[in-house]
Amino acid sequence: MTTTTTATTTTVLDASDVTMRFGGLTAVRSVDLTVNSGEIVGLIGPNGAGKTTFFNCLTGLYVPTSGTVKYKGTVLPPKPHLVTQAGIARTFQNIRLFANMTVLENVLVGRHTRTKEGLWSALLRGPGFHRAEAASHARAMELLEFVGLEKKAEHLARNLPYGEQRKLEIARALASEPGLLLLDEPTAGMNPQETRATEELVFGIRDKGIAVLVIEHDMRFIFNLCDRVAVLVQGEKLVEGDSATVQGDERVVAAYLGEPFENAPGDEEVAEVEAAEAHAETTTDAAPGKENDR
Ligand SMILES: Nc1ncnc2c1ncn2[C@@H]1O[C@H](COP(=O)(O)OP(=O)(O)OP(=O)(O)O)[C@@H](O)[C@H]1O
Ligand SMILES: [Mg+2]
130-142 per-position pLDDT tens digit: 666 666 788 899 9
Q: Report helix, strand or coil for 291.
A: coil
The residue to mutate among 18, 19, 25, having the most atoms of ligand 1 within 8 angstroms of its beta carbon, is 25
Count Cβ atoms below 10 Å from residue 34 Cβ, excluding itself. Answer: 17
Q: Which ligand is closest in space to the CA of residue 183?
A: 2
Shortest-distance atom of ligand 1 to CA 279 = 29
Of the candidate ranges 153-157, 194-198, 230-234, 288-292, the one whose mean pLDDT is the lowest: 288-292
The one-letter code for the residue type at 289 is G
Q: Taking ligand 2, which is a single-atom ion, which protein residues have CB atoms under 5 Å away?
A: 51-52, 93
Beta partners for residue 102, in sequence order: 156
**Across 258-268, average pLDDT:** 49
Give yes or no for residue 122 having a pLDDT over 80: no
Instruction: Give the model's confidence band at 108: pLDDT under 50 very low, under 70 low, under 90 confident, else very high.
Output: confident
Task: Please tell me what DSSP assigns to residue 261.
Answer: P
CA-to-CA distance for 289 and 151, rounded, in angstroms? Answer: 45
Query: Please, what is the average pLDDT of the chain?
Result: 85
CA-to-CA distance for 151 and 292, rounded, in angstroms? Answer: 48
- pLDDT at residue 32, rounded to an integer: 98
Report the candidate in 81, 46, 104 with the shortest Cα–Cα distance to residue 256.
46
Give yes or no for residue 242 having a pLDDT over 60: yes
Count Cβ atoms below 10 Å from residue 3 Cβ, excluding itself. Answer: 6
pLDDT digits (tens, 9 = 90+) for 52-62: 999 999 999 99
Q: Which ligand is closest in space to the CA of residue 44?
A: 1
Sign of CA dihedral 139, 142, 148, 151: positive
Instruction: Give the model's confidence band at 202: pLDDT under 50 very low, under 70 low, under 90 confident, else very high.
Output: very high
For ligand 1, atom 1, the nearest C-alpha belongs to: 22
Kindly give the distance from the C-alpha atom of residue 13 to the centroid of ligand 2, in angstroms, as a whole number. Answer: 20
Ligand 1 neighbours (beta carbon < 6 A): 22, 25, 27, 45, 47-53, 93, 283
Q: Which helix (H) or strand (E) holds 280?
A: helix 267-283
For ligand 1, atom 19, the nearest C-alpha belongs to: 48
Give yes or no for residue 222 having a pLDDT over 70: yes
Q: What is the pTM for the complete model shown?
A: 0.83
Shortest-distance atom of ligand 1 to CA 45 = 21
Strand order in the sheet with 74-75: 25-36, 11-22, 66-71, 74-75
pLDDT digits (tens, 9 = 90+) for 38-54: 999 999 999 999 999 99
Instruction: Report percent pLDDT > 90 for the chain.
Output: 65
Report the candidate in 76, 79, 61 with the shortest Cα–Cα distance to residue 16.
76
